Amino acid sequence: MAGAGPAPSVKYWKTMALWQWTSAGRIDGHGGNLDCSIFYGDAAAWDKYVGKGNTPTPKPPKPATPTHKHKVGEHIVFSTCYASSSDPISKAIQASKMARNHGVITKIQSGARNPYLLDADLCWVNDGDIRGAYQAEQYYTVKSGDTLSGIAAKYGTNYQHLAQLNGIADPNKIYTGQKIRVK
């Protein structure tokens, strides 16, 4: 060892097994400080001291069971959906551009970006797309300032669908207090 100097002469103390006599030791080829220590024992004592052979073998962690917020058989309403379970958000299809905005979860594909398949082949959705449970018929009471297109957007559909569903001839004429079927 270059620059470390000889180890100091120390008598064996019964309460001490290891002594670090410097943390600034040097050795050729190493650019930083090194700890310089003395162990008072043989190889068997060292193995016992560091617990060699006594270390339990760690068990590999159990793989996490995927958890899903929804389950097969739920009838849900969605705001957007996808043609495949792996489609990125850039390929989202707005519910207002589809024939309907609801479906029954028929399959869950764990680990997929869009894990829920609706109606066996309608489309795929993820938790962020799901707006809640589907209700067979739902009504909305028109408030001052509402428009049919604004109401349609709240329910993931379009004003044409609401006009047809409610027999509204002129979508620009709705009235405060009017009950409109939205589902």
Rg (CA), the chain: 36
Q: What is the average per-residue pLDDT within 144-161?
A: 91
* Domain with 117 in it: 74-133
Which residue from 170, 164, 172 is spatially nearest to 147, judged by alpha carbons? 172
Query: Is the pLDDT at 47 greater than 80, yes or no?
Result: no
* Residue 45, pLDDT above cutoff 60: yes
DSSP state of 175: -
Quote the pLDDT of residue 127: 94
| Structure confidence by residue, pLDDT tens digits, 89-130 | 999 999 888 888 999 999 999 999 999 999 999 999 999 999
Residues 126 and 80 in one domain: yes
Q: Global pTM?
A: 0.43
Task: Give the span between the Cα atoms of 101 and 88, in whole angstroms.
Answer: 19
CB 93 within 8 A of CB 103: no
Indicate whether 143 belongs to any domain.
Answer: yes
Would 129 be classed as within a structural domain? Answer: yes
At 16, is the pLDDT very low, low, confident or very high (cuts 50, 70, 90)?
A: low
Query: Region 151-168: what's the mean pLDDT?
Result: 90
Q: What is the distance between the alpha carbons of residues 74 and 86, in angstroms, rounded to a whole number?
A: 21
Task: Flag whether pLDDT at 8 surpasses 70.
Answer: no
82, 113: one domain: yes
3-state helix/strand/coil string of 103-148? EEEEEECCCCCCCEEECCCCEEECHHHEEEECCCCCEEECCCCCCH
- The pLDDT value recorded for residue 56 is 60
Structure confidence at residue 1 (pLDDT)? 45
Is residue 49 assigned to a domain?
no
Q: Under a CB-based contact definition with an 8 Å cutoff, are residues 80 and 74 in contact?
A: no
